[in-house]
C-alpha cells in the first residue's frame, strides 16, 4: 500500500508509507491493525534448512556469526523460502559476551560452553564494556541486511541478564540452574554486580543493532521460567528493566522466555511492547495476565510441527483464534524450530496464518 492509494501522507504531510516501520509485523507489535497477522519463527535460520547446513558445513558457529556476508545470507534464507513477515539476525546470545572478553565456544549439540565459569567479583570485573567497534561485524551485517530486506523488517536480539548469567555461572547449559541459583541466593551482591555488568553489555549490543537499522529487538530470557515470580522480581526484573528501558520506545521491544506463565505480567512490566508466550499458556489467558497495553507473540508448540498436517492445522487455527483476544498478535512458536522439522511445514504454516487472518485493505 502506498500513499497514492490512501492519500494520507499527502493530507498530513507525513513521510511516504511503506517500508519496514509500516510492515504487518511492526504494526502488530504496536497494536495497530494490519493486512494480516504476521508470522516469524524463533530459530527460523538454522538446522531445519538444508541450505543452512550446506553453508555452515565447515564454519564453526561463532566464526559464522562474525562473517557479515555469511550472517546476511543465513538471515535471508528463511525469508526467501517461507515468506515470513520478519527476518531475525543470525547470531547468538553469547556473541556480545565473547566480545566482552569471556573465553567461550558454542559446541555443536551442546550449546555455549565457558572456559572459566564466573565465581568471584574479579571474574565479573573481567567482563569488559563493549561498543560498536567490538562487534563491528554485527553493525556491518545489519546494514547489509536492511538494504537487502527492503520492506521486510529485521529483528535484532540479545540474551537477557539472567539467561546469560546462567551460562556464565554454570559454564554451560543446565537443566536446574543450580549453581546460578546458589550464587543468586548465597551472594546477592555478587549476583547483582554480575547482572548489572551483563545488562550494560546487552544494552550496548542492542543499541549497535538499532543504530544500524533493525526494526525491532527481542530480549531472550529463555531460562527465566526457572524462577518464582518473587525471585524474578527481586533478582532479575531490575536488570532486564535497565536494558529495555534504556532502549526507549524507538523500535518495538519483544521480551521472551520459556515456562514463564507465572512471570508474564512481570516480563511485560520490564518495558516490553510485546511479550513472548510459550505453548503452556493459551494466548487469551496470557493477554489477561499481560494487560491490554501490550501485544503477544507465540505460541505453537514446536513439536506439533512434527505431527501430521491436520494436527498442525488445527493447532494453528486454535492459536489464531485465541490470539484475537490480544490487542496485537505476532504468530510464532512457543520456542525455537527443532532441527528435525520439515521446512515445508513451516512454509505451509505461514501461508495458513496469512489466509486465516487476511483483512481487506481500507
Ligand atoms: O533464527 C534465529 O532465531 C536466529 C539465530 C539464533 C541462534 N541462537 C542461532 C544458533 C538465535 C536468536 C539464538 C539465540 C539463543 N542462543 C538463545 C535464545 C533462544 C532460545 O533458544 O531460547 C539461546 C539460549 C542460545 C544458546 C545456544 N546457542 C543454544 C542452546 C544452542 C544450541 C546448541 C545445539 O547445537 O543444539 C546454540 C547454538 C546455535 N545458535 C545454533 C544456531 C543456529 C546451532 C549451531 C549450529 O547450527 O551449528
pLDDT at 362: 54
Contacts of 175 (CB under 8 A, 6+ apart): none
Any atom of ligand 1 within 6 Å of the Cβ of 206: no
Q: Which of 273, 204, 224, 264 is nearest to 27 (CA)?
A: 273
pLDDT along the chain (362 residues), means of 10: 36 61 98 98 97 96 98 98 98 98 96 97 98 98 98 98 98 96 98 98 98 98 98 98 96 98 98 98 98 98 98 98 98 98 98 95 60
Cell of 339: 532441527
> What is the 143 CA–ligand 1 centroid distance (Å)?
22
Q: Confirm or reject: Cβ of 46 under 6 Å from ligand 1.
A: yes
42 pocket-lining for ligand 1 (C-beta < 6 Å): yes
| 183 in contact with ligand 1, CB cutoff 6 A | no
What is the pTM for the complete model shown?
Answer: 0.94
Q: Which helix (H) or strand (E) holds 219?
A: strand 216-220
Ligand 1 and 44: CB distance under 6 A: yes
Q: How far, in Å, CA of 129 to CA of 145, rounded? A: 26
Q: CB pairs under 8 A, 24+ apart, for 147-151? A: 148/72, 148/76, 149/20, 149/76, 149/79, 149/87, 151/18, 151/19, 151/20, 151/22, 151/23
Indicate if 273 belongs to the active site.
no
Task: Give the model's pLDDT for residue 361.
Answer: 66
> How much is the pLDDT for 360?
78
pLDDT tens column, 14-58: 444 689 999 999 999 999 999 999 999 999 999 999 999 999 999
Measured CA to CA, the distance from residue 301 to residue 330 in angstroms comes to: 15
- Considering the candidates 17, 30, 31, 92, report the single residue annotated as catalytic: 92
> How many angstroms is it from 122 CA to the middle of ligand 1?
28
Q: What is residue 187's predicted lDDT score, i.e. its pLDDT?
A: 98
**Is 80 labeled as catalytic in the residue annotation?**
no
CA 200, chain centre distance (Å) = 18
Q: What is the pLDDT of residue 87?
A: 98
pLDDT given at position 10: 37
27 catalytically annotated:
no
- pLDDT at position 18, please? 83
Is 318 a residue of the active site?
no
Amino acid at each position: 500500500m502506498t500513499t497514492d492509494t490512501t492519500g494520507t501522507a499527502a493530507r498530513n504531510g507525513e513521510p511516504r508509507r511503506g517500508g519496514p516501520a509500516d510492515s504487518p509485523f511492526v504494526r502488530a507489535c504496536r497494536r495497530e491493525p494490519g493486512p494480516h497477522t504476521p508470522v516469524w519463527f524463533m530459530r527460523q535460520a538454522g538446522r531445519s534448512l538444508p541450505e543452512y547446513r550446506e553453508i555452515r558445513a565447515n564454519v564453526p558457529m561463532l566464526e559464522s556469526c562474525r562473517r557479515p556476508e555469511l550472517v546476511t545470507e543465513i538471515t535471508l534464507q528463511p525469508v526467501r523460502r517461507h515468506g515470513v513477515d520478519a527476518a531475525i539476525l543470525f547470531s547468538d546470545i553469547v556473541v556480545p559476551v565473547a566480545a566482552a572478553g569471556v573465553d567461550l565456544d558454542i559446541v555443536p549439540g551442546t550449546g555455549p560452553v565457558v572456559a572459566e565459569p564466573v565465581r568471584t567479583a574479579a571474574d565479573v570485573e573481567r567482563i569488559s564494556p563493549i561498543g560498536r567497534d567490538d562487534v563491528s561485524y554485527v553493525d556491518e551485517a545489519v546494514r547489509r541486511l536492511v538494504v537487502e530486506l527492503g520492506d521486510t523488517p529485521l529483528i535484532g536480539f540479545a540474551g537477557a541478564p539472567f539467561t546469560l548469567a546462567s551460562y556464565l555461572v554454570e559454564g554451560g547449559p543446565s537443566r536446574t540452574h543450580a549453581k546460578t541459583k546458589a550464587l543468586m541466593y548465597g551472594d546477592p551482591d555478587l549476583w547483582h554486580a554480575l547482572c548489572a555488568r551483563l545488562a550494560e553489555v546487552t544494552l550496548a549490543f542492542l543499541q549497535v543493532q538499532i543504530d544500524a537499522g533493525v526494526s525491532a529487538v527481542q530480549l531472550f530470557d529463555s531460562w527465566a521460567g526457572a524462577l518464582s515470580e518473587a525471585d524474578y522480581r527481586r533478582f532479575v526484573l531490575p536488570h532486564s528493566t535497565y536494558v529495555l528501558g534504556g532502549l526507549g520506545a524507538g523500535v518495538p521491544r519483544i521480551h521472551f522466555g520459556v515456562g514463564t506463565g507465572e512471570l508474564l505480567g512481570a516480563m511485560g512490566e520490564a518495558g516490553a511492547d510485546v511479550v513472548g508466550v510459550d505453548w503452556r499458556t493459551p494466548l487469551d489467558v496470557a493477554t489477561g495476565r499481560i494487560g491490554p497495553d501490550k501485544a503477544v507473540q507465540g505460541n505453537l508448540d514446536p513439536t506439533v510441527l512434527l505431527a501430521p498436517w491436520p494436527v498442525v492445522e488445527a493447532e494453528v487455527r486454535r492459536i489464531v483464534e485465541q490470539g484475537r483476544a490480544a490487542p496485537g498478535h505476532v504468530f510464532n512458536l512457543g520456542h525455537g524450530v527443532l532441527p528435525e522439522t520439515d521446512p515445508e511445514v513451516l512454509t505451509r504454516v505461514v501461508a495458513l496464518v496469512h489466509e486465516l487472518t487476511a483483512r481487506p485493505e481500507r
